Amino acid sequence: MITISSLSMRFGRCFAVRDVSAQIDAGDSLALWGVNGAGKTTLIRCVLGLLRFRGGVSVCGHDVLRDGKAARRLLGYVPQELGFYDEMGVGEAIGFFARLNGLRGTEPAASLRLVGLDGQHTKRVRELSGGMKQRLALALALLGDPPILILDEVTASLDAVGREEFIGMLKGLSCSGRTLLFASHRLEEVAALARRVAVMERGRVIETVDTQAFVAARATEMRGGAVLHLTVPASSREAAVRSLRELGFAARLNGLGLLVPVPPERKAVPFRVLADARIPVEDFDLVDAAEAASLAAQAKENVP
C-alpha cells in the first residue's frame, strides 16, 4: 500500500532523512523507532506529501507529490501535537473537517461513538480532557474510512491509563485490517501494535526487524536490573546524559527522554543526580525483566 523508494530530505545542508526505502503492505503495521532527531517525524511528513523530497513515495500507486489529493484520501493522520478550535463544539468539529474533506452525510454521533466519545458532541473542544482530545483527533483521522492510519507519537502526552485505552483502540483498528505506520518511543506500544520495527538513526533506517525479535533484544538489555525511561525538557537532555554518565550510568537518549539502566539497589539515584543538576523530571517509566518478558509475549501474539 505504501512504497518508499530511496527517499532523502534535508533542511539546508543537513539531511533529516537519507536514502530510506520501505514497503508496507495491506494490513501491515510498521513502527518507526529512534531518538529525537532520528528522522521519524520528517519521514512521516514526507509520506503525507507535506514536504518536498528526493526519491519516491506512492500510496496504492498514487505518487504523493504528483497526485497528492488521491493519495491523502487513503490516509488518516494523527499528529503528536493537536490543533483544534477550542471554542468549537465537538460535533461541529466533526462536521467542519468532514466538509473540508469533501465528505457529505457524515453523522458526528457515529464518528464519536467509534472512538468511545458517545454523548460528547455538545461539549466545546476546550472542555475535553487530553485523552478525549486524542480520541477526537482519531475520529477525524477516520473520516472517510481510510485504509491506512499514520500516527506520530500519539500517546506521548497521555497518562498510563489513557495510553492503555488508546493503544487498545488502535489495536482493534489494526485487527480490523487497517494498515498502520507510526512513530513511537514506548516499548509497550510497539509490542502491542507493530508487526515490524524500523530502527532509525541520523536519518537512516539501520535495520528493520520483526517485533518479537526487537522486544526480545530490549528485554535482554534489561536483565539483571531495570531501565528507567525519564522524560526531561528537550533543552536539558544532553546535560542529563552527561550528569548520569559521570556517575557511572549508561544513559542514552531515546524518544522524548532518556533510557537509564539501573541495578536494583540504585533505582532512585538518577533522580537525585538530576535534582542536584537542577534538571526536572517530567515523567518516568520503570521496566523490569518480568515486564519485558510480558512485552515479548505480547509481540509474539501480534505477529501473524
Per-residue pLDDT at 289 exceeds 50:
no
pLDDT digits (tens, 9 = 90+) for 195-226: 999 999 889 999 999 998 888 777 665 555 67
Q: Would you place residue 295 in the very low, low, confident or very high pLDDT band (cuts 50, 70, 90)?
A: very low
pLDDT grade, residue 290 (50/70/90)? very low
Mean pLDDT, residues 98-109 taken together: 82
> How far apart are the C-alpha atoms of 145 and 139, rounded to whole Å?
10
Report the pLDDT value the prediction gives residue 86, as an integer from 0 to 100: 83
Give me the residue label for grid cell 532509525: 200
Residue 294 pLDDT: 45
Burial class of 184 by CB neighbour count within 10 A (0 to 12, 13 to 18, 19+): buried
Q: Is the pLDDT of residue 268 over 90?
A: no
3-class DSSP assignment, residue 149: strand
The residue-averaged pLDDT of 179-198 equals: 89
Question: Residue 186 and residue 169: Cα distance in Å, rounded?
Answer: 16
**pLDDT band (50, 70, 90) for residue 264:** low
As a whole number of angstroms, the distance between CA 268 and CA 61 comes to: 52
Q: What is the pLDDT of residue 121?
A: 84
pLDDT single digits (tens) 26-57? 999 999 998 778 899 999 999 999 999 999 99
Residue 155 has pLDDT above 60, yes or no: yes
Query: Is residue 230 within 8 Å of 277, Cβ to Cβ?
Result: no
Query: How much is the pLDDT for 225?
Result: 65
pLDDT of residue 220: 61
CB 151 within 8 A of CB 171: no
Which domains, from first to last, does the chain contain? 2-215 (3.40.50.300), 217-292 (3.30.70.980)
- pLDDT (average), residues 81-101: 85
Average pLDDT of the residues of the chain: 84
Phi then psi for 151, rounded to 5 degrees?
-130, 135
Q: Which long-range contacts (CB under 8 A, 24 or more apart) does 214-219 make?
A: 214/33, 214/190, 214/299, 215/187, 215/190, 215/191, 215/292, 215/295, 215/296, 215/298, 215/299, 216/296, 216/299, 218/187, 218/292, 218/295, 219/289, 219/292, 219/293, 219/295, 219/296
pLDDT at 48: 95
* Mean of pLDDT values over 84-101: 86
pLDDT-derived band at 296 (thresholds 50, 70, 90) equals very low
Tell whether the model's pLDDT for residue 67 goes beyond 60.
Answer: yes
- pLDDT value of residue 287: 58
Residue 293 pLDDT grade (very low, low, confident, very high; cuts 50, 70, 90): very low
* Comparison of pLDDT for 286 and 135, the residue scoring more: 135
Per residue in 173-184, pLDDT tens? 877 888 999 998
Q: What is the pTM of this model?
A: 0.72
pLDDT at 5: 96
Average pLDDT in the 135-146 region? 90
Mean pLDDT lowest for which of 142-156, 158-172, 272-286? 158-172
Torsion of CA 153, 188, 208, 256, to 10 degrees: 40
Q: List Cα–Cα distances, 26 to 173, 196, 254, in angstroms.
A: 13, 13, 29
Predicted pLDDT of residue 53: 95
292 pLDDT band (50/70/90 cuts)?
Answer: very low
Tell me how far apart the alpha carbons of residues 148 and 142 are, in angstroms, rounded to a whole number: 9
